[in-house]
Amino acid sequence: MRQAGYEIEIKLRVDDLAAARRRLRGIGARGTGRVHEANVVFDTADASLRGRGMLLRLRAERPAGRRPGLKGRGERRALLDGWLFPVRGRQSAVVTLKAPPLDAAMRATGGGRLPCGSKGSYKVRREVEFVVSDSRAFREMLTALGLGPKFYYEKIRTTYRLPRVRGVEITLDETPVGAFLELEGTPAGIDRARRALGYRPEDAILLSYGEIYAAHCRDRGLTPRDMLFDAGEKKRGGFAGR
């Protein structure tokens, strides 16, 4: 959901996945099937996009099983690489380019302007998104421009809508570092959905999944690599989809 070309969203941490699903059913949310997402972020060798607060991502998805098959990290990345960029045949993918998040400092300098109704309690950024029919060919184009895959991450996502709350889409994401609700839409719709789910304004998380993963690793003294459903994450208890 977009308002005037902006992506407006918050994340909410989920401590009990089963309880979150019961709460969603209790407020009348209607969910679609669970999908398994494979994502890869592209950047230059010196991470110039990340340095400017930008993100360029390719995403593919397919129906999710009960849970992903767990493998070692190297095997897992190779598996996702083969899915995203198959040697034979074509794989369609969603390409997303995200501009730096808008904040009070940027507004003060004239660098950006938030949509009406947004008061700073949301993550707000411009986003360009489109589908390519041949992800491998698109990767070759990016490589020619000096960009390569820098960060792989995956999640299991279920999308919900609230029939009685307009202007918001809810997703329940199961990731290797925990489960999260993501609310995207208009500020008013996000606020109504957040209250219906029993969360307070201060519960809103404005970080990307890459930033959440980096904080997860920092808190545990781990070296950030890729955010994958691998055997190591299972041993550490990171996979919320069990």
In a domain, 103, yes or no: yes
In a domain, 242, yes or no: no
In a domain, 157, yes or no: yes
**How much is the pLDDT for 21?**
96
Pairing status of strand 168-175 against strand 35-43: unpaired
In sequence order, which residues have a C-beta less than 8 Å from that of residue 108 and are 6 or more positions away? none
Q: Report the alpha-carbon distance of residue 193 to residue 179 in Å, rounded.
A: 17
Q: Can you give the CATH number for the domain in which 109 is found?
A: 2.40.320.10
Count each helix (H run) and each strand (E run) in the chain, helices first: 8, 10
In a domain, 162, yes or no: yes
Q: Which domain holds residue 194?
A: 2-236
In a domain, 134, yes or no: yes
**How much is the pLDDT for 165?**
83
In a domain, 186, yes or no: yes
**How much is the pLDDT for 103?**
64
**How much is the pLDDT for 2?**
44
In a domain, 148, yes or no: yes
Q: Report the alpha-carbon distance of residue 196 to residue 166 in Å, rounded.
A: 13
In a domain, 38, yes or no: yes
Q: What is the DSSP letter of 227?
A: B
Positions of the chain with pLDDT under 70:
1-5, 66-73, 103-120, 231-242
The pLDDT tens digits of the residues spanning 122-140 come to 999 999 999 999 999 999 9
Q: What is the four-CA torsion angle of 161, 132, 61, 28, rounded to 10 degrees?
A: 0
Ramachandran category for residue 185: left, alpha or beta (phi over 0 → left; psi -120 to 50 → alpha): left
How many domains does the chain contain in total?
Answer: 1
